[in-house]
Amino acid sequence: MVKITYEVHQKIGNPSNVHEAIVRDDLVHTTGYGIFATPFDLNENDKINVAIKWINLDSKWKTISSHGAKSNINLNITAPELLHAIYVAGRIRVYNVGTDSQPILLSLYGHFDIEDKRIASDLREIINSQRAFFNDFDFPYYAISLIEGDDPRSMGGTRLSDSFTAFLPRGMHKNDYYILFAHEHLHNWIGGKIRKDKDEELHYWWSEGFTDFYSRLIALRSRGIDRKAFIDEMNQFLRAYYLSPVNQEPNLRIKKDFWNDYDIEKLPYYRGLVFALYLNNLIQKEKPDISLDVIMHDLFKVAKQQQFSSSLFKDIVHKYVKNGIENEMVNFIDKGKIISLEGINLPIEKVSMGRYYLGFNRDNLIKDKSIQEVDVKSNAYKAGLRDGQKVTGRDCPKGKGDPKQIITIETTAGTFKFKPEHYSKIEIYQLRTDLLGQEEKEFSKFFGIK
């Protein structure tokens, strides 16, 4: 028998990235990966006996984990089940947003812009509507841990077994909360119960793009977000896709550069969502009474036997589309040809727009807080920004990438506001926002709104 004792320290600073171990005076928050050492020769399916005890806890501390709320945990589980889980102890607020027989424990730490009660009710609605979508209520237990982030510009989350965790900054819009939760929770099925195979990056168009599509669509149907917010979201994706500088890169490029190029990292989310719109239209053209939903349901039905692959996806779609989608998959996904929405059964319009363009050097802005290399043709220049100005504050409400917003730059020479849009413009599709009678029907039919 070998006995190992070790200490766990967090990274320097005061990190709030939930993927790693966080150790504070009033909180211990970590995934299994951040805290447990396992023998390297353990096989994925080998069961191990695990006893986890939280000892000498302050009386005001509570505990929660992917395995329950008890502070003593005894389990016979596999290493992935131990590691792919969240463990929390500290001054947390714990709520049950499920039922007594099927608890969904919500743990909150820190401050958020919306009340605990609202977070709890949003989560309850997301969980119920998504379980209803897949007609899957097989969740004996579920845990969610949310903590306040340390950087107002960053948020993120991760799905774990029977649980998810996220860190949230202050100043988030109500819909952004909702959509972040909905996205993470939908991964219980997309990429979770409907497993991904080993070529993960090559399937991001589906696992991330379709997750982005359905997290918003299910929210629209359950009225978690309203129609205006939904259309705004779709239009953000359409802008992002059609104006992306890398939107014609092949799928293999995503595998190669996902982790080291921001534009490439975002591409499968955009491409996948637009492909979902395209496919929904294709299916409804042949079979007006069904939608892309049937593909999702069929994928889930076979998920226990088969993990996701593009050939499985093609086979399932072929059941509903006479000629199949071999060509679409090769062109739009593999080769990266632009997906055209011409003739789609949705109220769309063409809008002339330029890609996101700051008009001066971004590195200087972030590192030296100074304006450099202003392009005289840019909106930034027109607004009055000039080389050498010292920056005292900035606000980019929709973040890097969306030209349809107003950026504010405060400098010692004054405050400047401008639209970060490139002067060279192209025509792109946008959903119409003010829908008239017939358009409203078209919209509801397309998205399956009752």
Size of the site for Zn ion (CB under 5 A): 1
Least distance from C-beta 183 to Zn ion, angstroms? 6
Nearer Cβ to Zn ion, position 208 or 328? 208
Q: What are phi and psi of 333, to 5 degrees?
A: -95, -60
Nearer Cβ to Zn ion, position 275 or 446? 275
Nearer Cβ to Zn ion, position 218 or 380? 218
Stretch that binds Zn ion, among 19-27, 141-149, 202-210, 236-244 (CB under 5 A): 202-210
User: What is the contact mask toward Zn ion in residues 208 to 247, using x (rule: CB under 5 A)?
Assistant: x---------------------------------------
Could you tell me which of 63, 120, 65 has the C-alpha nearest to residue 87?
Answer: 65
Residues between 306 and 325 with contacts to Zn ion, criterion CB under 5 A: none
Q: Could you give the CA distance from residue 416 to residue 420 in angstroms, rounded to a whole number?
A: 12
Q: How many residues does the structure list for the chain?
A: 450
Task: Estimate to the nearest angstrom the gap between the alpha carbon of 369 and the chain centroid.
Answer: 30
Least distance from C-beta 309 to Zn ion, angstroms? 19
Nearer Cβ to Zn ion, position 90 or 401? 401
Placement of tokens 């009474």 in the chain:
289
Q: Could you give the CA distance from residue 83 to residue 81 in angstroms, rounded to a whole number?
A: 6
What strands lie across the sheet with 22-24, from one edge to the other? 22-24, 27-31, 86-90, 62-65
Q: What are phi and psi of 294, to 5 degrees?
A: -65, -30
Q: Could you give the CA distance from residue 354 to residue 365 in angstroms, rounded to a whole number?
A: 22
Least distance from C-beta 127 to Zn ion, angstroms? 17
Least distance from C-beta 248 to Zn ion, angstroms? 23
Nearer Cβ to Zn ion, position 208 or 249? 208
Nearer Cβ to Zn ion, position 208 or 233? 208
Q: Could you give the CA distance from residue 195 to residue 314 in angstroms, rounded to a whole number?
A: 16
Q: Could you give the CA distance from residue 194 to residue 329 in angstroms, rounded to a whole number?
A: 20
Residues between 283 and 302 with contacts to Zn ion, criterion CB under 5 A: none
Comparing every residue's Cβ against Zn ion, the nearest one is 208
Stretch that binds Zn ion, among 111-119, 200-208, 245-253, 353-361 (CB under 5 A): 200-208
Residues between 424 and 443 with contacts to Zn ion, criterion CB under 5 A: none
Q: Is 122 in contact with 178 (CB distance < 8 Å)?
A: yes
Residues of the shown chain interacting with Zn ion in the complex, contacts defined by CB under 5 A: 208
